[in-house]
Structure formats: C-alpha cells, structure tokens
C-alpha cells in the first residue's frame, strides 16, 4: 500500500513512511526498515523471508519463554482479580507451546489457547473453537510479528473488551537496527515495532482505549480500569526493567 505522496503507507495510520535503516535478515535477505512520519512506527514492508523465518514457530534463541510465562501468570492473575473477572473465560492468542495457558489453568483460571503456527505441548485439549466471547485475551510477544495489525486483530477485537499484551516500544530517539536488541534481524520474525502513538491509533481503530507502561506492557480496553490495574502499568515501575532486559540481551550475544 502507498500513501497519497507515492511513499509506502503506514499499516496502522496510513501516513507516509520513509526509509529509516537497512539490515540483513536471516543473514542473507536485504531488508529495508521504514518509519512512519506520523505515529513513529517502524516496519519491514517487504517480507519475502517470512516462511523461512517461521520454519520453527518458536525460535531456539527465545531463552526467556519460561521466565516470561511465570511473570505473565502473576500479572494476568492480578488483572483478573482487580477487574472483577474471576470465574470468567479467557484466551491466550498466539499461545505457542501452551506453557502460559497451562500455568493459568493450574491457577484455576478458565484459559483457552490459539496459535496459527505452533503446536501446543501443554493444555492441548483447550483449543479455541473460534466461537463465543472472552472476558480477557492475552497476547504476549505477538504484536511485533503482525505486519497487518488492523486486519490480523479485527476478528479478535470483536470477541473481547480487554486485551493484555506485551511488545517492546521503540525508544526515543529511535535506534538503528544494530543498536536495539528487539529488531532481532538474525531471526526474522520481528517485523513491526510500535510506539505509544501507533498503539493508540491501532486500539482506536479496533474500538479500544490503550493504557501502557510506556515500555513493554499494554492494555486495550473498552471500560474504565480499576486504579490497581492502572498502577501495574505505571511507567515509573518499568524504566529499570527495560535497562535490565537490554543488558541481559547484550551479555547473551557477547557470549554467543
């Protein structure tokens, strides 16, 4: 898609995008990273490498999967409690191996799962059938994989009023590809990188308000949030966590 100026257009706000950087993806595909002139989103628009990137749905480099599932179990359980949803029905979107769903079911929450690419190892019998509504949908480390977020999330947005998701936001000033761990070009699965503004516009297009910690945790919601939930998303709680994640990534890559 192109904007009225003839430049490629943003997949979230339709404004013009300009060339931002270039890198080798999967060590061999020359990829251009474009940045939106309005909302600041960064994306790879030409994606000939996706089939190869998803030869394994969950890459071996994702060494934080179990730690992330345990953390999100605690956070999601707190949101369910604060928002008065105990006893509700819940979905984990793009659930991977089903680790998080298993943890949540062990915590007595009625969680189901859906993943278009991965085969679940845990909680396999609790597969979403595409019918009915959910009181909460979770989507952890998913939005950076969605090249057409409005289209890919539209049906999901019809089935819930609350989405809790994680994705790292582009820092300011926006770093080049070699200066930010989250681009992850050697794996090729991260293809779109959001800002608070791009999430606000995306949420609005799907009928949601957005609450974000300004770093990596975000909520799409249609109703006012409990003050305790808002406190979980306080930006003051997360600056140190972002620095810690960056240092850990740098150490891992330095050690091979």
The pTM assigned to this predicted structure is 0.89
For residue 139, the model assigns a pLDDT of: 97
Mean pLDDT of the 65-75 span: 88
For every residue of 7-69, DSSP letters joined together read SBB-TTT--BEEEEEEEEETTTEEEEEEEETTT--EEE---TTHHHHTSSSS-TT-TTHHHHH
Condensed to tens digits (0 to 9), the pLDDT of residues 119-152 reads: 889 999 999 999 999 999 999 999 999 999 999 9
**Angle at the Cα of 240 (from 239 to 242), degrees rounded to 5?**
70
Is 159:132 a contact under the CB 8 Å cutoff?
yes
Sequence-ordered strand ranges (E) for the chain:
17-25, 29-36, 42-44, 89-93, 110-114, 136-140, 162-166, 192-193, 209-212, 217-221
Query: Radius of gyration (Cα) for the chain, nearest Å?
Result: 18
Residues 166-200 pLDDT 10s: 999 999 999 999 999 999 999 999 999 999 999 99
Q: How far apart are CA 16 and CA 173, in angstroms?
A: 19
Task: Write down the mean pLDDT value for the chain.
Answer: 90
Contact of 77 with 85, CB cutoff 8 Å? no
- The pLDDT tens digits of the residues spanning 8-42 come to 999 999 999 999 999 999 999 999 999 999 999 99
Q: d(Cα 97, Cα 113) in Å, to the nearest integer?
A: 10
Sketch out the chain's domains with CATH numbers: 17-235 (3.40.50.150)
Strands 162-166 and 136-140: parallel
Reduced to 3 states (helix: H, G, I; strand: E, B; else coil), residue 194 is coil
């Amino acid at each position: 898609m192109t904007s009225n100026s003839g430049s490629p257009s943003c997949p979230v706000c339709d404004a013009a995008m300009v060339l931002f950087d270039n890198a080798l993806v999967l060590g061999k595909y020359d990829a251009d990273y474009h940045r939106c002139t309005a909302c600041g989103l960064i994306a790879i628009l030409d994606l000939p490498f996706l089939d190869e990137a998803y030869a394994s749905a969950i890459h071996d480099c994702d060494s934080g999967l179990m730690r992330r599932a345990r953390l999100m179990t605690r956070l999601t359980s707190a949101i369910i409690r604060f928002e008065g949803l105990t006893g509700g029905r819940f979905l984990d979107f793009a659930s991977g191996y089903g680790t998080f769903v298993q943890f949540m079911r062990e915590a007595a929450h009625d969680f189901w799962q859906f993943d278009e690419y991965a085969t679940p190892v845990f909680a396999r019998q609790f597969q979403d059938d595409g019918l009915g509504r959910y009181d909460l949908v979770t989507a952890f480390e998913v939005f950076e994989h969605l090249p057409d977020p409005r289209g890919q999330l539209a049906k999901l947005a019809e089935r819930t009023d609350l989405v809790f998701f994680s994705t790292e936001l582009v820092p300011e000033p926006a770093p080049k590809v070699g200066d930010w761990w989250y681009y992850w070009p050697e794996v090729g699965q991260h293809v779109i990188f959001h800002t608070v503004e791009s999430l606000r516009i995306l949420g609005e297009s799907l009928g949601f308000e957005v609450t974000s910690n300004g770093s990596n945790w975000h909520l799409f919601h249609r109703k006012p949030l409990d003050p305790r939930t808002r406190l979980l998303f306080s930006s003051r709680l997360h600056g140190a966590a972002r620095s810690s994640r960056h240092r850990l990534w740098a150490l891992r890559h330095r050690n091979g």
